Amino acid sequence: MSSTTESLNALLASLGQAFDKIPGSAVLVRYVKSSHQNDPGRTVLEVILIIFAIFTLLQSRTRGNDGRHFIKFEDKEIDELVDEWTPEPLAAPLNAFEASDLAAVPIIVGHNGPKPTLARQPTKMIANLASYNFTGLAGKEVIKERAIETLRKYGLGSCGPPGFYGTLDVHMTLERDIADFLGTEAAIIYSQGFSTISSVIPAFCKRGDIIVADRGVNFTIQKGIQISRSTVRWYDHNDLKSLEDVLDSVEKERKKRRGPLTRRFIITEGIFEKDGAMIDLPKLIELKYRKKYRLILDESISFGTVGRTGRGLTELYNVPATKVDILIGSMANGLCAAGGFCAGSQHVIDHQQINGPSFVYSASMPALLAVSASEGIDILRSSPSILTKLQQNIRVARTILDELDCISVPSHPASPIIHLHIRKPTPTLLHPSSAVSAGHSLKPSNPTSVLPREAVNWDWDTDAEERALQQVVEEALRRGVMITRAKRLRGQEMVEARPSIKLALTSELSTDEVKKAVKVVAQALKDVLRK
């Protein structure tokens, strides 16, 4: 018996020595140990999957080839079955409102700019307050010329992910331009704006980590949080007092369970896509340092639109960008190009090059769009008057809209997107201050629930408001101003945003043109909502 045991031990020792000689074996052993320590259930699951895979591979793949397990049909029977088969629709049929909404979408002929030509009104001058052409970069001739030159030199697509053969010199130049423009150590670009933050979040936030997020974050952030599988706590929309309370409750819960310290993140937006509200960045940074959290800030709307030269909230509040751990931006919105970026320390960027799903698996952006983005940065850097003109147009629009008693405007006065809600007898906005003004007791919301406590008081009729706002959109277009409703993925977002009209201001229209266009919108609102 002892000799058998010794032989078995010797065999296991020799197998262990042979395994240690395999390249990467130490990494595998370290992974298994850490995985088992953090999540023993995962180890059991992986063992079961390995056994199942081995069992599947050992099964015969030729069973049934003798025809005994198949039903034989005659040609006539096959034809009858084919004739009777009705395929399932790829999507649910449109209802009456969706069909009319689709039919009402304006079709632009030629260049899309501040004054486009519509197919249905080819002779009428249209003011465009619907496109994200905030600083007019979409119509710059210098950008067009550089894009054409790049297209002739590099071709259209890169045909590969950045980590393989999709990285070109213009991509690296753009990353350096973004980092230098924002004042960060480095930056990394993604080919799609939507997949930027939904890829960045799971690259850093893993199971067991803590995420404290604003309840009003956009759909892209929601997807990133879901993918991360982290423990999530929610605070009331744009309410830093609620955020501090949630941070304190997280620490109190950890001490009560005697849990280990984990990575902890605050996730929010600079200017919120859902309602145009703006975060108080200095107070947020003070809070994250005091509570020892990392900050992931999405500046997809604020980058290229606020600040003296369009650097975003860090420039607007005179806060060094290095104080934001992970800064996300959109080149599609702010630079009228495509894709998104993440800026931060060199370690943050290096980590994404092998752990960012969208960066690793998606083809890199076309070279001509990278060059267009770099040119856009140069224009913003050298022409701060563009941002001054944009903010002037925003103030003109807000002066007119704030006087209307049939709507409420939740957006920040500096936001380039202005949301318009139908005014209710009692406020029912996403912001928690609405509950205070309505006289409701503002008890703390449940941090584990994405819905705020005052959600029970939301009494708006989504369908009715969508129809009314669509009438405003169509009436404004008939009078020569193109605007749009804020389009939502109803039933898919964690918190359903209230229906709204979304105005996108631009610096390419003169002050008088903006005043005239917004007055048309105001009159359309009065005519439709006061019926």
Separation of alpha carbons 499 and 472, rounded Å: 13
For residue 361, CA distances in Å to 47, 137, 356, 401 come to: 27, 30, 9, 45
**CA–CA distance, 234 with 253 (Å, rounded to integer):** 15
Q: What is the pLDDT of residues 300-321, one digit of tens each?
A: 999 999 999 999 999 999 999 9
Give the residues across from 12 on adjacent strands: none
pLDDT at 234: 96
Q: Closest by alpha carbon to 432, among 413, 448, 417, 445?
A: 445
Sheet strand arrangement including 294-298: 186-190, 340-344, 326-330, 294-298, 264-269, 210-214, 231-235
Tell me the β-bridge partners of 190. Answer: 340
Helix (H) or strand (E) holding 212: strand 210-214
- Cβ of 510: how many Cβ atoms within 10 Å? 13
Asked if residue 368 lies in contact with residue 174, where contact means CB atoms within 8 angstroms, the answer is no
Query: Is pLDDT of 50 > 90?
Result: no
- Which residue stretches of 21-74 are H helix? 25-38, 40-58
Give the start-end residues of each E strand in 242-388: 264-269, 294-298, 326-330, 340-344
This prediction's pTM = 0.83
Q: What is the pLDDT of residues 424-434, one digit of tens each?
A: 765 444 544 44
pLDDT at 60: 63
The DSSP element (H or E) to which 351 belongs, if any, is helix 346-355
Over its C-alpha atoms, the chain yields an Rg (Å, rounded) of 28
Q: Tell me the domains of the chain and their CATH numbers.
A: 33-86 (no CATH), 96-138+385-424+460-529 (3.90.1150.10), 156-382 (3.40.640.10)
The residues that bridge with 418 in the sheet, in sequence order, are 503
Indicate if the pLDDT at residue 409 is higher than 90.
yes
Percent pLDDT > 90 in the chain is 64
The whole-number pLDDT of residue 327 equals 97
Give the tens place of pLDDT for each residue, 235-269.
Answer: 999 999 999 999 999 999 998 888 888 999 999 99
